[in-house]
Structure 1
Amino acid sequence: MTHENRKSILFVCLGNICRSPLAEAVFRDIVETAGAARRFEIDSAGTGAWHVGNPPDPRSVEVGRRHGIDLSRLRARKVVGSDFDRFDLILGMDRSNVANLTAMAPASSRARIAEFHDFSTGTPRDVPDPYYGGDDGFEEVYRMIRAAAGSLFEKLGADMRGVSG
């Protein structure tokens, strides 16, 4: 867990090449634009290891680029046991991710595991995996993530009022 004045967030999808790296990069952009980068630790991972070490899907990179978000330095990784101690909040992009995370979590975990939309907006809604679809699916996922990430920042920002940095 991070210092009490910082929030640590891990965004998780299946392979860490489409949704979760986009969520990581979008949330980081929101945080940096607000001048609050020192208040957050942000990362992403996948529940599976198929793409470990690979860059995000080119379609995620492209949709990010179109919106001024750079994903080029990100590399896929798998969720590991220490993530459940390192992060305060672990957000799955869909119900299946949350179920997998819950099953993976050590009994001693203090991390809060939740679905991304449910936690950020209060509305349970899966972020659909655009991997097998067309480019338009990536644009829709970007819009969903952008809106929910804005809500997440507002929610967490309200929790941190009075914290400098």
Structure 2
Amino acid sequence: MVEKKKVLMVCLGNSCRSPMAEAVFQDQVQKMGLSDFWEVESAAILDYHIGNAPEPRAMSTLQKEGITNYSHIARQITKNDFYKFDWIFGMDKYIMSELYEMRPKDKRATIELLGKYDPAGIITIRDPLFDVGSAGFETAFQQASRSVRSFLEMKMDIINKK
């Protein structure tokens, strides 16, 4: 059996963007029949929401999009994550700078913007937490969906060629 590749989604508080990206990744992996190859988690840079469930608007966006079996408790990223995961995806440039700052020199993980894989070319997944309403959450969901699908298709092409 092949060792699963591990992905960590990271945003500021682990209550909006990264849990939605984690849920999208889990959903895509299931739909593509790739559960034996991939594992995903999410984490925060800051400790604001540690121990809490995702923001209610994030959860209602997921449910509206058909992802109804997702649950999560926010946690903060650790040094060990840089060794445990193959990819660590940040949602914006600030998150990326924090990830680069805290990464150990001998890390295992590749650190990238998730939006780098968005075929629409929108590399920043903006934080919708302080928005009024759910439009920002829906936008973040769509960006994460496009990016995750593109990433998985690209990586599976590489795995299939081996």
Could you tell me the TM-score, scaled by structure 1's length? 0.90
Match for residue 35 of structure 2 among 34, 37, 42: 37
Q: Residue 121 of structure 1 contacts residue 152 of structure 1 at CA under 8 Å; is this kept in 2?
A: no
The size of the alignment, in residue pairs, is: 161
RMSD: 1.9
Structure 2 residue aligned with 1:103, among 98, 101, 104?
Answer: 101
- Structure 1 counterpart SS, 2:150: helix
> Any conservation in 2 of the 1:56–1:72 contact (CA below 8 Å)?
no
Question: Aligned in 2, Cα 1:115/1:14: closer, same or farther, shift over 3 Å?
Answer: same
Deviations 1:49-98 (A, max 9, x none): 11111000000000000011136521100000100000010000111111
SS in 1 for 2:99: helix
Q: Equivalents in 2 of 1:12, 1:38: separation in Å?
A: 23
Alignment partner, residue 75 of structure 1: 73
Instruction: Supply the distance in 1 between the matched residues of 2:97 and 2:122 (Cα, whole angstroms).
Output: 14
Matches within 5 A, 1:1-165: 5-70=3-68, 72-119=70-117, 121=119, 123=121, 125-134=123-132, 135-161=134-160
Superimposed CA distance per residue, residues 119-157 of structure 1 (whole angstroms, 9 cap, x where no aligned partner): 465946210000000211111111111111111111111
Which ranges in structure 2 are unaligned for 5 or more consecutive residues? none
State percent identity of aligned pairs: 33
Partner letter of residue 52 of structure 1? Answer: I
Q: Which amino acid aligns with 1:159?
A: I
Which stretches of structure 1, 4 residues or longer, exceed 6 Å deviation after superposition? none
Q: 1:56 to 1:90 in 2, by over 3 A?
A: same
Where 1:161 maps in the other structure, the secondary structure is helix
Give the whole-Å Cα distance in 1 for the aligned partners of 2:141 and 2:18: 11
Q: Secondary structure at the match of 2:36?
A: helix
Distance in 2, Cα, partners of 1:121 & 1:84? 27
